Structure formats: C-alpha cells, structure tokens
Structure 1
Amino acid sequence: MMDFLGGIYPWIKALHIMAVLAWMAGLFYLPRLFVYHAERASVGSELDQTFQIMEEKLLRVIMNPAMIVAWIAGLIMIGLGAFDWGAAWSWIKLVSVILMTGAHGWMAARRKEFAAGTNTRSGRTYRLFNEVPTVLMLFIVVAVIVRPF
C-alpha cells in the first residue's frame, strides 16, 4: 500500500499546489470585490445584487472547493511523511494555513453581511484585510521552500 501511495505522492503534491493556487486567487480577489461593494453599491441596488452574485459564486464555486482540496491533499502528504514534526518550518506552515483558513471564514462571514444588507465595514477595512492572505502566503512559501528555521 505504501508503494502505491509513494508512487502517487507527486500527483497529490501537484493537486495540492493547484488547489492552493485557486484558493489564493479567491483570497486575493474577494476582499477586492468587498472594497468596491462597500464603496460603490447601495443596499438593494442592481450593483449590490451583482456584487452579491459575484462574491457568492467566487466563494462557493472556487474558494470553498479549492480550500477543501488543498487541506485534503496536504493532510495526505503529511500522512505520507512530508511533514517534519521537529522542524520549525513545518509548524510555521501549519499555523499559517490555519490562520489562512480563519481568514477564509472571516470573508465568508462578511459575504453573508453583504447579502443581508448589514455590512458596516468600509472599503479601507477590506483594503487592509486584503494584505492578510499575502503576508500568510509569504510565511508559507518561505517556510516550505527556503526552510530558514
């Protein structure tokens, strides 16, 4: 069984990278949609409805499945030994991915507020939050590729 799993490791890794790319694209784009939604659309307007559709589809059709696949593929790779429990880089990545998942959840909650017409946050808030996935991505990539710790 381990021979089979070891043989598919490169495929699992490729799937993980593709899922992460799709997830990150959504994590970068959704806060940008929120900026324009907060600054340009009044509740109930046609533009408000358009943003709601875009945000909901991005989250439901791209981001959620990509996050799930990234997590599953990552957990499979951990199960196959790709995680060094004694190295700091592994823990930095794990904590950063958990925080990234939290950012995803925060965005999902904000989408629900827009859908309910109860958003109280400014475009500036969403501009600042847009940097969170970027910083976490930097931690993850440096931790995994450079492994300075």
Structure 2
Amino acid sequence: MLDHFQEAETPKNAWDILERLFTKKNDTRLQLLENELLSVTQKDMTIPKYFHKVKSLCHEIADLDQQLRIGDARMKRIIIHGLRPEFQSFVVAIQGWPTQPSLSEFENLLSGQESLAKQTAGVSVSAVPNQENEALLRAKEKEISNPTTVTT
C-alpha cells in the first residue's frame, strides 16, 4: 500500500489515491453478472423466484456501476425472454393491452396465471377448439382494459 502513496505530495493527493484504489469497479464481476442476467431463464423456478433472481442481478449490477442501472422496461423484456414457453401466449395477450402493466403488476399477473395453471393441471383445455380459446382471451382482455364496460 505504501508504494501507492510515494507519489502523494499532499494529504489531498493521498485521499485521492485511496479513493481511486477502493472505488474501482470490479469489471470482471460486472461482466459475469451481465452474462448471467442475459442468460437467466425461468426453468423450474416459480414466477416470484424468477422475478427475484432477475431483480437481484439488476440491483447487483447497479451497485457496481450506477450508470448501468437497468430500468423496469428493460427488466421486463429480460424477464419475458427467459419465461417458460407456456407463458408466451399470455404475455402476447398482455402486450396487446392499451396500457401496459408496471413491473409489479406484470409479476402479479404472471403469478396468477401460474396459480391458475397449477389448479387446472388436471383439466384438459385441448378439448376446446383454439378459436374458442382465442375468443375467450380477447373477451377477457376487453373486460380488463375497459373496466367500466358492463358485460352480460
């Protein structure tokens, strides 16, 4: 450590050297975190665990470098990219809404969908033709996006 301070002519120079030494960004750690973030997938994680994993990685990256802070919109795109295939049609339906949900609302919607899928795991939906499924989904989207509309 003393080698670093040989060039310091004033106490201010010494403090500047200390600051430079101890506030260095850990570029290797940052690169590893970014690689992990871009390759993270849901696999067998539940929706809340998957969201927590992505958010944790994003916060760690921001802690290392504030300029690399990842906003909610990008975080949502990263999450969507790593979701299991069974959530893709649900996500596409949500993306068609006129007002997009916040990150926490998006997590709640996906958690609800996951719970619903677990509850109906024993019930086969394939008995209903695809056109009927799509019509039901469009009707539900309309109902959610226009809460003042009364349906009978």
TM-score (norm 2): 0.33
Between Structure 1 and Structure 2, the one with more helix by share is: 1
TM-score (norm 1): 0.34
